[in-house]
Amino acid sequence: MEKHQVMLPTSSTSSTPFSSDFKVDYINSTVHVENEAIRTQRKAISAQNKRDKEFIIKQHRYVFQTKSPVDVLDDGYQWRKYGKKIVKNNKFPRSYYRCSHQDCNVKKQIQRHSRDEQIVVTTYEGTHTHPVDKSAESFDQILGNLLIGNLVCNVPPTLE
């Protein structure tokens, strides 16, 4: 199957597709790890802790809008699908993926645009704790071919 590759930033690589200013923010931000303990203690989290947690999650959410015939862009990492959901106001299902690497809790959501089915909205959440699994094409090349809008940081995807 044809795949498109996208180079993504990791905590262990020096190159990122982002501007230098953004790169600094990215590396300095706190790694968010959501584990089972956090899930089970959700009810007990105070309002302040909840706000802090939401802030941390926002710091690690990156949204790409790409124009591609394929849903899953090959970013060099290995992903395992763990869910699929029909979401409101969108005729295409949203797919949920987790990084297959041990102890890496990076997640991504993939959904096609409701109005333009050529557009794929990919949302990354978290920071990879390991190097990229395999070499990927240069991000600039991918951007030239695929990216139709700006890289959106900390903003939820617009799907209407």
Give the binding site for DNA (CB under 7 A).
Answer: 34, 36, 39, 42-43, 78-89, 94, 96-97, 100, 107, 109
Please list the residues that pair with 61 across neighbouring strands: 125
Nearer to DNA among residue 86 and residue 103 (C-beta):
86
Least distance (Å) between residue 59 CB and DNA: 16
Token couple for 44: 């007990």
Least distance (Å) between residue 138 CB and DNA: 25
Reduce the DSSP state of residue 115 to 3 states and report it.
Answer: coil
Express the helix, strand and coil content of the chain in percent, nearest 5 each: 25, 25, 50
Nearer to DNA among residue 42 and residue 115 (C-beta):
42
Of 81, 93, 92, which Cα lies nearest the Cα of 114? 92
Least distance (Å) between residue 125 CB and DNA: 8
Token couple for 11: 């905590």
Of 1, 20, 33, 17, which Cα lies nearest the Cα of 132? 17
Nearer to DNA among residue 20 and residue 89 (C-beta):
89
Least distance (Å) between residue 42 CB and DNA: 4
Nearer to DNA among residue 17 and residue 99 (C-beta):
99
C-beta separation of 64 from 122 below 8 A: yes
